[in-house]
Amino acid sequence: MDLPKNYLDILKKSPRPLKITSERQELIQQFVDRINLERVGTKWKPVIWRQINGLVAHVRISDLYWFFKECEQGESFSKKFFGILKSTRVMRRV
């Protein structure tokens, strides 16, 4: 997969930069960046912050760290991300 070397710099210089004010927002931004890195040059559109936030809204911050670590250990970060979310092992809190 061909990734531009300055991909993260381009994201940081976007017209509407995010104002990250909490630990949770920073973690979600890391998920967005990693998923979008894999989507460069494919048929998939980049995900936006709001999509990922909606998908992991039920996950606590401490579990997000575990979740990120699991995704990094997988062969494909985004496949592991969406696979874990679909898994029955992850219980949604209502």
Q: What is the pLDDT of residues 56-77, one digit of tens each?
A: 988 899 999 999 999 999 899 9
Separation CA 92–CA 73 (nearest Å): 23
Model confidence, pTM: 0.72
- Listed in sequence order, the residues at least 6 apart from 76 whose beta carbon sits closer than 8 Å to its beta carbon are 38
Q: Would you say residue 90 has pLDDT above 60?
A: no
Q: What is the pLDDT of residues 15-47, one digit of tens each?
A: 666 677 788 988 999 999 999 999 888 898 889
Q: Could you identify the residue written with the tokens 């017209």?
A: 15
E strand segments, the chain? none
Asked if 21 and 29 count as a contact pair (C-beta separation under 8 A), the reply is no
